[in-house]
Amino acid sequence: MFYGTRRLDVSAFSNADEIASAILSKLAQTIETHLRKANHQFEEYRERNPRKNSLSICLLLNSKVDEFSPDVVMRAVHGKMKPTSAGVRFPHIDAVLYISEKHIQQLPDGRVAFALVQVIGLPAEEHRWKMDVVEHVMQRWSEFRTGGAAGAGRSDQFESIFDVPPKMARHEAWKLAYRRNPYLRGLTNQQLKIHFHRCVGFCALLMNGSWPKPSQEQHLGYVRQFGDAIEEINHRGIDLRQLAPRDLSAQERAEAYAGLPQELIDLL
Give me the residue spans of the domains in the chain. Answer: 10-160, 170-267
Cut 0.85: pTM above it: no
Q: How confident is the model at residue 5 (pLDDT cuts 50, 70, 90)?
A: low
Please name the amino acid found at residue 80.
K
| pLDDT number for residue 165 | 82
220 pLDDT exceeds 90? yes
9 pLDDT exceeds 70? no
234 pLDDT exceeds 90? no
What is the end-to-end Cα distance of the chain in Å, rounded?
21
215 pLDDT exceeds 80? yes
Specify whether the CB–CB gap between 151 and 111 falls below 8 A.
Answer: yes
Number of Cβ within 10 Å of residue 26's Cβ equals 10
**Structure-model confidence comparison of residues 226 and 109, the more confident one:** 226
21 pLDDT exceeds 90? no
Structure confidence by residue, pLDDT tens digits, 22-62: 888 888 898 999 999 999 999 999 999 888 888 999 999 99
* Angle of CA points 135, 42, 87, to nearest 5°: 85
Length of the chain: 268
